[in-house]
């Protein structure tokens, strides 16, 4: 059974801090790893990673994948209160399970002013 584990489960920081969120996975027939930000209800897409060692960057957020060690990290620099959310990691399977996402339990990030 595919499995995704995120750590830490929750994190409280102050504005301006840098945070690192972790995601480890076990999946049969790996295709990609995705990061989502969930505020209130609907998760919104952040990154899709398919290749090891290539950093994806969007503003203050960046992410990298290590397919040998089966993990990914999401970095947020100079955090702002608007970064407070649940960050979800998901792995996508290929083959006959094409498109199926298995999510981790999420990391709750709280950024205080």
Partner 1 sequence: EAGVAQSPRYKIIEKRQSVAFWCNPISGHATLYWYQQILGQGPKLLIQFQNNGVVDDSQLPKDRFSAERLKGVDSTLKIQPAKLEDSAVYLCASSRASVSNEQFFGPGTRLTVL
| Residues engaged in binding partner 1 (CB under 8 A) | 4, 31-32, 34, 36, 41-45, 48, 88, 90, 92, 97-106
Instruction: Give SS3 for 95.
Output: helix
Numbers of helices and strands, H then E, in the chain: 0, 11
- Of 19 and 90, CB closest to partner 1: 90
- Of 67 and 100, CB closest to partner 1: 100
Closest separation in Å from C-beta 86 to partner 1: 9
Closest separation in Å from C-beta 91 to partner 1: 11
- Of 23 and 111, CB closest to partner 1: 23
- Of 11 and 48, CB closest to partner 1: 48
102 exposure class (CB count in 10 Å sphere: 0-12, 13-18, 19+)? middle
Listing DSSP states for 45-94 in one string gives EEEEE-STTPPEEETTEEEEEETTTTEEEEEE-S--GGG-EEEEEEEEE-
Closest separation in Å from C-beta 30 to partner 1: 13
């Amino acid at each position: 059974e595919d499995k995704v584990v995120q750590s830490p489960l929750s994190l409280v920081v102050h504005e301006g801090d840098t945070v690192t969120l972790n995601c480890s996975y076990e999946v049969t027939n790996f295709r990609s790893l995705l990061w989502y930000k969930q505020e209130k209800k609907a998760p919104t897409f952040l990154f899709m990673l398919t290749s090891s060692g290539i950093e994806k960057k969007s503003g203050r957020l960046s992410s990298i994948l290590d397919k040998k060690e089966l993990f990914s990290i999401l970095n947020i620099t100079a955090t702002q209160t608007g970064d407070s959310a649940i960050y979800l990691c998901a792995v996508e399977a290929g083959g006959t399970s094409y498109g199926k996402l298995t999510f981790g339990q999420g990391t709750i990030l709280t950024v205080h002013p």
